[in-house]
Amino acid sequence: MRAKWLPRILGYCGVLTVGLVIVAVAPAASAEPIYPVADPDPFYAQPADMASHSPGDVLDSRVMPPLFYFPDTTVTMIKFRSTSSEGAPIAAVTTVLTPREHRPDGPVLSYQHIINGLGAQCAVSRVLYTTDPNLFVKESVALNVALRRGWSVALPDHLGPNVAYGAAKLGGQITLDGIRAVRRLPALQAANSPVAMAGYSGGGMATAWAAAMASSYAPELHIAGAAEGGVPMSLLKMVNSLGMQSHPAFGLAMAAAIGLEREYPDRLPISTQMNQRGLAARNAMANGCTNEIMAVGAGHSAGEFAASTSMIDDPAVRGVLEENSLELYDGIPNMPVFEWHSPSDPLIPVDAIVNTDRRYCAAGVTLDMDMNGSPEHLSAAVLGMPSALAWLDARLRGEPAPTNCR
């Protein structure tokens, strides 16, 4: 394997595409992982008694002010118990939009929004109420279509309390526990609601992991279906395919390094492997969202921030990548899946998607694969969304799911 090991994520225009190019380097500087500045709102604080709660238990909830771009909709924020990548209890948050048209036990869609960032303010629950014009809910038009159909929509902060950008498995666990919490909060009248999931790119990654993990992590949940688009399904292949050249989106690559270190501080101690320039860049973006991260990293490369290459054969580092590569995960969705992507997507390894789809078909998953006509990542999201919504609508109405497995 070549010396390409500083976790790297490539993203474009706020759309997350995960890849890791970890420049494996020798410890040249002693530096602890850098975590986000704590949100000043006590609602986001981690309770001391989390271990006494089960995953999905509601720890707190509150009704939020209405949002003009989601008209006739009540907003409820829920804090619930979930699990970190390494099995520790954590508190996570989901924000539930309940439309005027909602009926008791009406449909619920858990929508995993794209979250590009390392700071607490990048979480969806914060973006909903931000005054920053650079932060907004990109899929608000599609979500309004769902709301007007009477669906409640849950928007989990799927990067968790440490804003662990790039941690795929974590996103799946938080998504499932968020659905549990929605069902358990009586005020939402969703205890017996049909539930579906959806998301694209980074949000699609959380959705796809939730679908694959549901049978083992949350076997009591009966999910009608999962629509997942543009999913980066192999971090390992990203490592092998991406090089050391400078890139305008390298800031997002650096953000992935920081995010994964937050989840795996002992197994992936990237901060100790950076030179002084790397540590300075890390510190500058440690609480940023997309624009700040992009500005710090624009035009740089992994090699500029690495001290050496001694970690290249570290099995612990490789293990982190494997554990977050859905292509290698042996779990099989226990629900119908709609999967869409561009067959020529230049930002993610399409062969990893194809391999995963084939494995699911061989295992008997009811899988509907849609390779749309987009030549790249961004427009594939837009072109595939109408089909995804139509597919979700049919699942939530109880219609049998189609499959084009052969």
Per-residue pLDDT, averaged over 204-212, amounts to 97
* 280 falls within a domain: yes
pLDDT tier at 5, thresholds 50, 70, 90: very low
Cα–Cα nearest to 382, from 127, 148, 118, 201 = 201
Domain finish residue from 271, 301, 323: 323
| CATH number for the domain harbouring residue 94 | 3.40.50.1820
Q: Kindly report, residue by residue over 11-24, the tens digit of the pLDDT.
A: 333 333 333 333 33
Q: Kindly report, residue by residue over 227-278, the tens digit of the pLDDT.
A: 999 998 987 776 555 445 677 778 877 888 899 999 999 999 988 888 999 9
Span of 14-28, 237-251, 315-329, 339-353 with lowest mean pLDDT: 14-28
Domain finish residue from 269, 299, 323: 323
* 267 and 128 belong to one structural domain: no
Nearest 5°: the CA angle 48, 50, 56 is: 150
- Name the residue with higher pLDDT: 348 or 144: 144
Per-position DSSP letters for 372-397, written without gaps between them = -S-SSHHHHHHHHHHHHHHHHHHHHT
Domain finish residue from 292, 323, 354: 323
Q: What is the DSSP letter of 340?
A: E
In which domain, by residue range, is 257 found?
A: 9-36+235-323
Span of 108-112, 309-313, 326-330, 381-385 with lowest mean pLDDT: 309-313
Query: Which residues have a Cβ under 8 Å from the Cβ of 316 and sit 6 or more positions away?
Result: 266, 267, 268
Beta carbons of 105 and 192 less than 8 angstroms apart: yes
Per-residue pLDDT, averaged over 311-326, amounts to 82
Cα–Cα nearest to 130, from 65, 182, 174, 194 = 65
Q: Kindly report, residue by residue over 36-68, the tens digit of the pLDDT.
A: 999 999 999 999 999 899 999 999 999 999 999
Q: Is the pLDDT of residue 79 over 50?
A: yes
* 166 and 51 belong to one structural domain: yes
pLDDT of residue 310: 58
Cα–Cα nearest to 138, from 228, 14, 226, 16 = 14
* 93 and 209 belong to one structural domain: yes
* 67 and 195 belong to one structural domain: yes
Cα–Cα nearest to 261, from 278, 242, 244 = 278
| CATH number for the domain harbouring residue 303 | 1.10.260
* 91 and 174 belong to one structural domain: yes
Q: Where are the beta strands (DSSP E) in 238-397?
A: 337-341, 367-371
Beta carbons of 70 and 299 less than 8 angstroms apart: no
* 106 and 120 belong to one structural domain: yes
Q: Is the pLDDT of residue 2 over 70?
A: no
* 403 falls within a domain: no
Cα–Cα nearest to 215, from 384, 337, 322 = 337
Question: H-type helices in 120-196, by residue range?
Answer: 124-127, 140-148, 168-184
